[in-house]
Chains A and B, each alone.
Chain A
Amino acid sequence: MSVLAQSVGFGLITASVLALAAVGLSLQFGVTNYINFAYGEFLTIGAYLAWTLSHGLHLNVYLALVVATLIMGVLALLLNRFLLRPFTKKGVPLLFLLVVTFGLSLFLSNLTLAIWGPDFQSLDLPREVPHAFGPFLFTTSQLTIIGIAAVAMGALHILLTRTEIGKAMRAMSDSVDLAQISGIDTDRITSFTWLLSGCLAGLAGIVLAINITSFQPNFGGEFLFVIFAAVILGGVGSPYGAMLGALVIGLATEMSAVLINSAYKNDVAFALLILTLLLRPQGIIRMAGKAA
């Protein structure tokens, strides 16, 4: 099997992790119209919750994954309800709202450090067996990651196109005022969006932790700018753009590890982010009003 083919395989795995994270960030940005700089910590907390459930409470690792994802969703919902929504209701300028999420990221990353300590932890999946797919070779956990992402993206597509609540989210993304006039309960949709965004972040953190095998309290925060790269490349606020951006960034970073040097993986994501901002700031899929 060629090294390049294997790097494409790795790229697909990274893209799967990134797609979950990027869609969660992009959905929330689309609906609320501000970036959440504490999003990286959502990933970290998701992974640590799963670790506590599976190691501390001896839950089956897959069950722990589901429960931790839901808890992270509820935490995000509560953070919006009791911290961010009061600020937006007060009519705080965008500049300050961003500083609030920035301060929240410092608070949450150190809360994680205080609770779980600085040591490396890992989430273990049972039985790692290699599976061959054409030119690719995947372990069981890698296939699980790709499977989870594929199912989540499919479910999300159905949610956004077939359900009332998904259509309402897309309507709010286009224009909050018009959505409100059409009788959409924007508070409820915003709450639901935070729940969904938190779930996706938690899930992304868990699969990222599985993929990198061991993790520390700062691993989600360090991944944040790669998520930004995917979101901006795809087009801020567009969930389908985020999926596309994740695929491009995932493949580009992993293939560059083979072609250039694995030490510069992150720099490739950074270069793509800068190039997008210079050449096509609206991203691949353009959302009106999101990228002035």
Chain B
Amino acid sequence: MSPIVYYLTTLVVFFFIFAISTWGLNLQFGTAGILNFTYITFFAIGGYFTGVSMLGRPDALSNMRYILGLNLPFPIALLVGATAAGVLGLLVGLVALRRLRSDYLAIVTVSVGAIVYDFVNVNTGLFNGADGIAGIPYPFNDSLNLDPNTYTFFYIALTGLVTLVLGLLAFRIYNSPLGRTLRAIREDADVASAFGKDSYRFRMIAMVVGCVYAGIAGGLLVGFISALNPGGWVAGETFLLYAALLLGGRGNNWGALLGAFLVPVLFQEATRYLPQIPGHAELIPALRNMIVGGLLIAVLWFRPEGILPERKAKFPGVEYLKKRKAALEVG
């Protein structure tokens, strides 16, 4: 297989993983109006738990230290990762979602991100600290025995299937009574509670499900690249997903999908191979991040609804009332 085909197939897997992440963020930020400024932490927790569930007991030879080591097959390990991310989301929600102001949740998420990052680095017994975990077996390949090139195509099919299921679920949630309620709470929590909707409970559902999406995306990444360390989930990654969602169109799952293609895949990959300036290795990545930060602000100024805006709900009853009102005013 030529390098270019290998590169493109890798991009397809990354696109699926980013699509799942952006849908989860869309459920939290786009649909429910929850500001989770450390979305990538839940992605990492999902990845770590998936990884250490698939690895065997740590042995003296590998020099890695980590918890669990259960030798589980990939689907069950992925569930473990998704659950871990969901539980962390639940804990954060328990503290922060009771407050109505979005500032408080955002503050708690920023703090949780910093603390978890510190904690994973300092407590090397958890996920092997700053070196991270590595050597996670390729999912299903102990029975498939495919060569690396063919395996990539198998993994595209695997992530594609998961992406399809989670995508259908994301659309289903958006159009369901749950999605409607979440949007009502986002627009005006007081009105929603006047209609008997418990905004705390509904926002908690969005928080946990969004974090489970992040956890699954993290698990799929670990299954593909076989390793994860703290350098792979720095705060910058969360900005990338926000930029994707805002540019694509928050509150619109097609917009989230488009954004996942435009920002983390197209923009990141197109700029990945820019020549480095000798002696200033950090300059190009820094400029790239400045563009992402600037993009976030620019989209909110010029086109806050994104490329594919959220469709405004239309209710026949409202149209009827408007017509009657107009008729009465004429009469």
Contacts and interface: CB of A to CB of B under 8 A. Distances in A.
Contacts of B114: 222, 224-225, 266, 270
Interface string A269-292: 010011001100100000000011
Contacts of B100: 292
Interface in A8-57: 34-35, 37
Given A37-B37, A87-B301, A99 B246 contact: yes
Interface string B276-315: 0000101101110110111111001100100000000000
A232 B114 CA distance: 17
Contacts, number: 132
Interface stretch (B115-123, B145-153, B221-229): B115-123
Interface string B35-46: 101000000000
Interface residues of B, number: 47
Interface stretch (B13-21, B77-85, B103-111, B259-267): B103-111
B119 A267 contact: yes
A171 B16 CA distance: 52
Contacts of A117: 280, 282
Contacts of B118: 266-267
A100 interface: yes
Nearest to B116: A270
A99 B103 contact: no
Interface string A98-110: 1110111111111
Given A99-B35, A266-B118, A277-B96, A114 B283 contact: yes
A266 B112 CA distance: 11
B108 A114 contact: no
Given A103-B239, A228-B111, A98 B102 contact: yes
A260 to B, nearest CB: 13
A118 interface: yes
A37 B104 CA distance: 12
Q: Is the interface of A mostly helix, strand, loop or mixed?
A: helix
B297 A107 contact: yes
Interface in A103-137: 103-111, 113-114, 117-118
Most buried by A among B103, B110, B285, B296: B103
A155 interface: no
A103 B242 CA distance: 9
Contacts of A37: 37, 106, 110
A274 B112 CA distance: 10
B106 A114 contact: no
Interface residues of A, number: 46
Contact of B296 (A100, A109, A274): A100
A109 to B, nearest CB: 8
Given A96-B300, A224-B110, A266-B118, A107 B293 contact: yes
B107 A35 contact: yes
A292 B293 contact: no
Interface string B6-48: 0000000000000000000000010001010100000000000
Interface of B: 29, 33, 35, 37, 95-96, 98-104, 106-108, 110-112, 114-115, 118-119, 122, 235-236, 239, 242-243, 246, 280, 282-283, 285-287, 289-290, 292-297, 300-301, 304
13 contacts: A37-B37, A87-B301, A117-B280, A222-B114, A225-B107, A225-B110, A266-B114, A267-B115, A267-B119, A273-B111, A277-B95, A277-B108, A291-B99
Interface of A: 34-35, 37, 83, 86-87, 92, 94-96, 98-100, 102-111, 113-114, 117-118, 221-222, 224-225, 228-229, 232, 236, 263, 266-267, 270, 273-274, 277-278, 281, 291-292
The 5 closest A-B pairs by CB, nearest first: A103-B296, A107-B293, A106-B293, A225-B111, A110-B289
